[in-house]
Amino acid sequence: MPIYEYRCQSCGFQKEHLQKMSDAALTTCPECGSEQYTKLISAAGFQLKGSGWYATDFKGGSTKAAPDPAPAPCGANCACHPS
Ligand SMILES: [Zn+2]
């Protein structure tokens, strides 16, 4: 479960919250109750997002470049393919 860092723009209160990816972002500061409580982009969150995009791009690119592995020239019905 990722940890999100929040900071209140109103009073400066800062705290880390353990949240599921699907959980709604917090907006209310637990310290002063203002609605200026916003999620900070942490190093961990940025890294996760970055690798996710990279994996997606890589998969799409490789699929487009080589849709199928080239079949063996002799197929499977010959002596060089015992099984
Ligand atoms: Zn506050």
Instruction: Please state whether beta strands 14-18 and 37-40 pair in parallel, antiparallel, or not at all (unpaired).
Output: unpaired
Could you tell me the residue ranges of all domains in the chain?
A: 3-61
Q: Report the pLDDT averaged over residues 53-60.
A: 52
Residue-level pLDDT at 32: 98
Which position has the higher pLDDT, 79 or 56? 79
DSSP 23-67: SPPP-S-TTT--S-EEEE--HHHHHHHHHHHHHHHHHHHHHHH-S
Fold of the 3-61 domain: Rubrerythrin, domain 2 (2.20.28)
CB atoms closer than 10 angstroms to residue 31: 14
Residue-level pLDDT at 67: 63
| Cα 74 to Cα 12: distance, rounded to the nearest angstrom | 70
pLDDT (tens digit per residue) in 4-49:
999 999 999 999 999 998 999 999 999 999 999 999 975 554 555 5
Q: How far is the CA of 35 from the centre of ligand 1 (A)?
A: 8
pLDDT grade for 64, boundaries at 50, 70 and 90: low
Q: How far is the CA of 36 from the centre of ligand 1 (A)?
A: 7
Q: How far is the CA of 14 from the centre of ligand 1 (A)?
A: 8
| Cα 40 to Cα 12: distance, rounded to the nearest angstrom | 12
Q: How far is the CA of 34 from the centre of ligand 1 (A)?
A: 6
Q: How far is the CA of 28 from the centre of ligand 1 (A)?
A: 8
Question: Tokens representing 2?
Answer: 């990722």
Q: How far is the CA of 3 from the centre of ligand 1 (A)?
A: 19
